[in-house]
Structure 1
Amino acid sequence: MAIAVGSVLAVALFVPYVARQYRRRGELGIGNAVLAVSGLVYSLALVAYVLLPLPQVGPDFCAVHGTSGPQWTPFGFLADMREEAVGTGIAATLRNPALTQVLLNVGLFVPLGMFVRYMFRRGVLATTAIGVGVSLLIETTQGTGIWFLYPCAYRLFDVDDLIANGAGALLGALAAPVLRAVPGQRLDADPGQPRPVTRARRLLAAVCDLLSHQLTGALVAAFANVCLLAAHGELVSGTRGPAELPGYAAVNAVAPFVSWFLLAVVVPLVGQAPSLGQRVVLLRATTSDGQVPGPGQRLLRSLFGVGGYVLLSQLGSMETVLPALGLLSVFSFFFGLTSLVVLLTTAGRRGLSYALTGLRMVDSRVVDRAAVLS
């Protein structure tokens, strides 16, 4: 569950994360991105550990799922170990279920200690305190039946879990320097210093553009569906879903084009960068003599780039309305493939859209510095 939800959130947060990294570090840093995604999935795993699986509530819920109450005795697991001991020796002790549970609770919070200390620059004591605080929140959530959403607690509040989780956070804080070994974190230059316009950076801008179109289209469609429900009085009654209402097909057919207009037309016209993705990775278009291109040139660059590809794809998806539009899907595929090949092979990483419009792409920090010096 954590991996599935984390993957969705990673996609949704990818563009703002890249923008933040470029403004904070001057570049993306693959190692930092790997650690960020790992931390996100781990955080979701903790939430899943607290909440899932959710039992169904029935008349005998407390009789079936209810606990005997909180366990307040520190190191009470030692008595449990004596009761559950089978055999003697180190191997038998390590197989003891009571000890296994404690060790797993220690291990569960080792990543938290590592992430908090390394990624948020906290000291060992502060990291351990945060680990204990998170553990207390988890135990309280479990001990109150998810804050009284359930008629009784179906998981045990155990003070030994607080001790084990705190110990895990402490061990993680001490082991945090190990995360320095993850490659792709070192900065090669000051964040404000311009970087080369590489093919990888151009591709990253294109990925940000494509994701922005998808996510903005989904948000526009969601907003349109809410408006549709409100117009038919279904927000309160909830007797029908959006798909059951008249106008649903038209609203959801128009929503992607509204998103396309905002990103492929409005964004190039109101700023110096021809696309949102290029703004995210601090790229900017200039004319051959280094001047800022006019709105018309920026708009054409957008239409010859991701904006044109998205438009062709969206029109091609409407072949159910007009079968002839299906040919545009094929054309969009070859248009995208040609753009990729030209990007990888042209000098200066200009790509198809820049070659057709006669523009150049530079790091926006070059333009900003030139403006300050002038």
Structure 2
Amino acid sequence: MLSSYLEPARTGFSTFVGVGALLLLPLVALHYWRFGRVEPRRAVVLYGLLAYGLVALALIFLPFPDRAQVCRGETMLSTTPFQWVTDMRNNMAATGRSGIQAMATSQAFLQQAFNVALFVPLGVVLRKAYRRGPFAVVCVGLGVSLAVEVVQYTGNFGYYPCPYRIADVDDLISNTAGALLGWMLAPVAVVVPAVPDAADATAPPGTVSVPRRLCGLVVDLLVVALVCRLLLPGAWWALALTALLRVVVPAVSGGWTFGGWLLRYRTRLPGGGRAGAGRIAVRELLGVTGLLAYAVAVSPRLGWWWLDLLVIAVVLAGTFAVPVFRRDQAGWHERVAGTRAVSERVPERV
């Protein structure tokens, strides 16, 4: 019996891999639009539910039969509660077996155990991640199971002229019991995180998001590229101009760069005070300016491609990837330097 579920489970997981990749960027955009950041616990729970849902649907509906093989006159609706108990007893009597082992290995018992286990993760997530009570979990489990049975009884909403799987009231009972069992087991499910409230997930007011800082950096680098293209060609001039725009100018102007001025943010201390030249220099040395310095001055002399990839991955991850999950959106270069990007409102005209 177990082997009959392996292929549908593999199909469901493969579908999750493809669908999850397609939903990654929309998910990031949705989280940024709603919370000003990507909340990691919400993302983990959402992706977990997506994987669970696709695998569960594959186990319930796959494999799809040929349409010519359905409508054989069989009764595809069972409305007798606990009919599986009678079927189990008949199966045991037909095989001349008795006892707990015979009961636990019978087809009817294993089918109901599978139906219970299928909905256990739903109950775990509803309680552990979303803090729902037992009544809500029972209602959700019953509603989802009822929707599945309706789809099965209608032949996948008319795609098949007759249903190819039995719509069974016992499935409603076992699925709902599985969701309730999951609610009971949720406290020991340490791998399922609790989804924080919207207030705890949202970035604080005035936080400068990673895309905003990235746009400011692109503006500064475009200025450097334009000047090097027209006046001062060469990698060393590009490095010098980048250091001028990203270190010297902010140290003199109170944290402003040209890109930051356009997007209304500047580099300050966490408390709002002015960041000194040393802190700004450390911030840039551990960020993109340091990466450019490595590319111009160090990489050509070493010629170690693996080290180049490692440096690029570390700098980009610490500067742009990891901060999207933090409430303050601060990169590792900012935390080491003790600086923050501070949003500045445009003064209103009287």
Q: Is the CA contact (8 Å cut-off) linking 1:193 and 1:365 kept in structure 2? A: no
Partner of 1:84: 91
Give the secondary structure class of the aligned counterpart of 1:62.
coil
Structure 2 residue 81 is matched with structure 1 residue 74:
yes
Structure 2 residue 280 is matched with structure 1 residue 293:
no
Structure 2 residue 144 is matched with structure 1 residue 137:
no
Alignment of 1:213-224 (within 5 A): none
CA deviation digits over 1:189-242, x for unaligned, max 9? 874359x99xxx99xx8xxxxxxxxxxxxxxxxxxxxxxxxxxxxxxxxxxxxx
- Which residue of 303, 308, 314 maps to 1:344? 314
Alignment of 1:172-321 (within 5 A): 172-182=182-192, 191-193=202-204, 272=216, 274=218, 288=250, 289=253, 290-294=255-259
Q: Is the CA contact (8 Å cut-off) linking 2:70 and 2:163 kept in structure 1? A: no
Alignment of 1:1-40 (within 5 A): 1-21=11-31, 28=38, 32-40=42-50
Q: Is the CA contact (8 Å cut-off) linking 1:128 and 1:173 kept in structure 2? A: no
The count of corresponding residues between Structure 1 and Structure 2 is: 248
Percent identity reads 35
- Counterpart Cα distance in 2 of 1:274 and 1:335: 25
CA deviation digits over 1:254-305, x for unaligned, max 9? xxxxxxxxxxxxx999x54649xxxxxxxxx97635225349999xxxxxx9
Partner of 1:367: 342
Give the secondary structure class of the aligned counterpart of 2:77.
coil
Partner of 1:61: 70
Give the secondary structure class of the aligned counterpart of 1:88.
coil
- Counterpart Cα distance in 2 of 1:176 and 1:137: 24
CA deviation digits over 1:152-210, x for unaligned, max 9? 111101000000000001111222233445579899x874359x99xxx99xx8xxxxx
- Counterpart Cα distance in 1 of 2:341 and 2:201: 14
State the shift of 1:93 in Å: 1.4
Q: Is the CA contact (8 Å cut-off) linking 1:106 and 1:166 kept in structure 2? A: yes
Q: Is there any run of 5+ residues in structure 2 with no aligned partner, and where?
A: 1-10, 220-244, 264-287, 289-303, 321-331
Partner of 2:266: none
- Counterpart Cα distance in 1 of 2:121 and 2:152: 21
State the shift of 1:37 in Å: 2.4
**C-alpha distance 117-365 of structure 1, shift in aligned 2 (>3 A):** farther
**C-alpha distance 133-293 of structure 1, shift in aligned 2 (>3 A):** same
CA deviation digits over 1:3-36, x for unaligned, max 9? 1111112222223334555676776565554433
State the shift of 1:77 in Å: 0.9
Partner of 1:248: none
- Counterpart Cα distance in 1 of 2:74 and 2:154: 11
- Counterpart Cα distance in 1 of 2:166 and 2:194: 42
Q: Is the CA contact (8 Å cut-off) linking 1:62 and 1:152 kept in structure 2? A: yes
**C-alpha distance 291-179 of structure 1, shift in aligned 2 (>3 A):** farther
CA RMSD of aligned residues (A): 4.6
The amino acid of 1:192's aligned partner reads: A
- Which residue of 107, 116, 128 maps to 1:118? 128
State the shift of 1:338 in Å: 3.7
Q: Is there any run of 5+ residues in structure 1 with no aligned partner, and where?
A: 206-266, 276-284, 299-304, 306-333, 351-359
State the shift of 1:115 in Å: 1.9
State the shift of 1:336 in Å: 11
The amino acid of 1:5's aligned partner reads: T
State the shift of 1:124 in Å: 1.6
